[in-house]
Chain A
């Protein structure tokens, strides 16, 4: 086999994988959200946000406005403060200085978080794990029915009585997503939720996330280290450097987005250059 042949072969393989993925994505986001449709999401305004751990200042003054229903991705190098920002937005930690406001009164059920680890209760069935997400509504009469419909939404209805230990990593993360969505949150904070998944599972999870965001119209804030994931999903990408927002990039590419399209690749490249510094994208390969 010549070098040329093998190259062509691998290219063909890539296409075989790409084709159904693109088809899935196109189907999932077929109807682009009409701009006049009212979003259920909350808008978010952050002013002068700072956070220190002892003498270590992680966030050094963040000002940010996120309109209701927007999908924002936050990228940055490890330790830049992106997860800290998300934890502050989700109310898991208290800021050292500055304010975060959602424009109106919120209930705890309005803001939900998804972590890199699924954090399922190993001793509760898949369905009971989803029920946990109802918050104080856990005791209501329709709790089971609501949990079942959330489980159906992520395509795991048939696993309702299983223990989490028998699920694959991607399935566990889908149960965690169902748990986060079951209370119909108005803000969903995602802390690298797909970081521990293999590449193909990650792509199908991205499509699932894109679909539920499109259907339920919540405000979505995704922290990720994967720039291609950020540009594939988000309306807007924030690059955090040294505890500040260094770049605020609009992803003005129509949905459904073609995975691996030239537009996305170009944008991904320019964001990576911002992240790594000039000249760093030429990896010499």
Chain B
């Protein structure tokens, strides 16, 4: 039998397609092991509550309306802070990517500010804003600014110069060149920035809410700690994980929508 005859058979043998459910197998197994460990008493309840206890705590908070309220407050802070910081970062990234003058004026300053861990500003921010909304929005916006700024800048600077030359040869003026060549070329890199920023957004918000807040998920977790409600603490942590996953999925969906031309996003 020649290799040519064998090849199609080899190719027809494939691993089962990775569908939507496959990715949930590992989390599910972890939950089951966790439940088993708690029920058998291998892990004491005051160290780690069983998943069923966490679910029960969640149900109670859901019925009282507290949970929805806190999630909504945190979600609002996260998205408003993200929008503010993201748009400023995007604007600076565009300006510094497109203009030498703007880059010379601001890039060094921004790079210096970037090296200050933004969470180190919390004491200062509390002194400035107290513990109301603007403190949290400021911190989230500051945290989100840098990944979006850096990746927008990088995306614009690395657009293929041959394509830019082509656009100029074919008579594109600056605005059209930006719309047709530079922006679409920078988009994959901008999305990398968005996904980094989403992670930093949650991190910043949780820390800020834990330290200085009177509502939100972080506040809920801190309150629960005060009263030794370990099931609510674990619940808050699980909700962070879920919200992070939701944000990441949303940005991936947006990527698939806008980057359908990219070989990495084409269906095979």
Contacts and interface: CB of A to CB of B under 8 A. Distances in A.
B170 A92 contact: no
A165 B171 contact: no
Interface stretch (A26-34, A111-119, A258-266): A111-119
A165 B263 contact: yes
A3 to B, nearest CB: 27
Interface in A116-172: 117, 119, 121-124, 132-133, 135-136, 163-166
Given A122-B261, A122-B262, A108 B171 contact: yes
A135 B171 contact: yes
A242 interface: no
Nearest to A183: B170
Nearest to A164: B261
A226 interface: no
A192 interface: no
Interface bin, chain B: 20 to 34
A229 interface: no
A257 B47 CA distance: 88
Contacts of B180: 121, 124, 132
Contacts of B184: 121, 123-124
B38 interface: no
B12 interface: no
Nearest to A122: B261
A109 interface: yes
Interface string B137-171: 00000000000000000000000001101110111
Interface in B237-268: 259-263, 266
A119 B263 contact: no
A179 B166 CA distance: 11
Given A109-B171, A121-B181, A92 B263 contact: no
Given A121-B163, A123-B184, A163 B169 contact: no
A159 to B, nearest CB: 14
A166 B180 CA distance: 20
A219 B96 CA distance: 42
Nearest to B169: A113
B166 A119 contact: yes
A163 B261 contact: yes
Contacts of A136: 171
Contacts of A122: 261-262
A92 B266 contact: no
Nearest to A176: B166
B170 A123 contact: no
A122 B171 CA distance: 19
Contact of A92 (B169, B187, B259): B169
A131 to B, nearest CB: 10
A133 B261 contact: no
Most buried by B among A123, A133, A166: A123
Contact of B266 (A117, A119, A133, A165): A165
Interface string A246-277: 00000000000000000000000000000000
Most buried by B among A115, A117, A132: A132
List the 10 shortest-distance A-B pairs measured between CB atoms, nearest first. A135-B171, A123-B184, A119-B166, A123-B261, A163-B261, A165-B263, A132-B170, A108-B171, A119-B162, A136-B171
Given A113-B169, A115-B166, A121-B184, 19 more contacts: A90-B169, A108-B171, A117-B162, A119-B165, A121-B181, A122-B262, A123-B184, A123-B259, A124-B184, A124-B261, A132-B166, A132-B170, A132-B172, A132-B180, A165-B262, A165-B263, A165-B266, A166-B266, A179-B170
13 contacts: A90-B169, A92-B165, A108-B171, A119-B165, A119-B166, A121-B163, A121-B184, A122-B261, A132-B166, A132-B167, A135-B170, A164-B261, A179-B170
Interface of B: 162-163, 165-167, 169-172, 180-181, 184-185, 187, 259-263, 266
